[in-house]
Amino acid sequence: MTTMAIPQPRRTNWIRYAAVAVKLLLFALLLAALIWPDLSGIKGKASTARLIVYPVGGMVLPLWWWLRRKDRFPWPADLLMTLPWTIDLLGNRLNLFDTVNWWDDAMHFVLWAFLTAGVLLAFVPRTLSRPVTTFVALGFGTTAAVVWEVGEYVTFVRTSPELQTAYTDTLGDLTLGTLGALLAGLVVARFTTPSSFNV
């Protein structure tokens, strides 16, 4: 006698849908910035560099996965690695960086945490210990924060009114970015590594 399997309701993979939606929003914002640069909020803020770097940042993981032919696409990592570029563009489009005092500081902390967590989930082996994973997060996050601040200085800060307060702002941004990376390292290490003693 054969038993008939009862079909189970398909669970919605909300992370996959969220990752696709965020990526579509990113490219919609980039397209809008190309068509209506005055409304983008990034005019005078290294808009050309952003229009090059942001799509690369949003597509680096899918391209790496496609080239490596991995079996399962890391949707959580893709979502985390796309959110920073999308939120930054959206925040500029809504003029939040210039109208909300705490927005820039919050973004340096939160977006660096997202980006670092995504990079850890996508590229760092799960066999690393918790301390090593945390140090990798600090290494990546701090280096990326320095590269970002240098890029901002070279592309627009040195010729803008922001130059007068750039030193203090840069130190604060580097500190918040590093703390965000540290938080990401601690969280990812806590929930993905097998042991805090196995290297």
Which regions of the chain are under pLDDT 70? 1-12, 70, 193-199
The identity of residue 153, as a single letter, is Y
- Residue 170, pLDDT score: 85
Per DSSP, helices labelled H in 44-164 are 47-68, 75-93, 96-99, 103-123, 130-155
Q: Which residues contact 128 (CB under 8 A, 6 or more apart)?
A: 136, 193, 199
CA-to-CA distance for 51 and 144, rounded, in angstroms?
Answer: 18
- Residue 72, pLDDT score: 86
- Residue 96, pLDDT score: 94
- Residue 161, pLDDT score: 74
Judge residue 119's burial from the number of C-beta atoms within 10 Å of its C-beta, 0-12 exposed, 13-18 middle, 19 or more buried.
Answer: buried
pLDDT tens, position by position, 67-81: 887 678 999 999 999
Which among 122, 116, 109, 119 is positioned nearest to 138, based on CA atoms? 116
Contact 175, 136 (CB under 8 A): no
- Residue 191, pLDDT score: 86
Helices (H) and strands (E) in the chain, counts: 7, 0
Domain regions of the chain by residue span: 14-100, 102-199
CB atoms within 10 A of CB 93: 16
pLDDT tens, position by position, 41-64: 888 888 888 999 999 999 999 999
- Mapped onto helix, strand or coil, the DSSP state of residue 35 is helix
CA-to-CA distance for 63 and 71, rounded, in angstroms?
Answer: 14
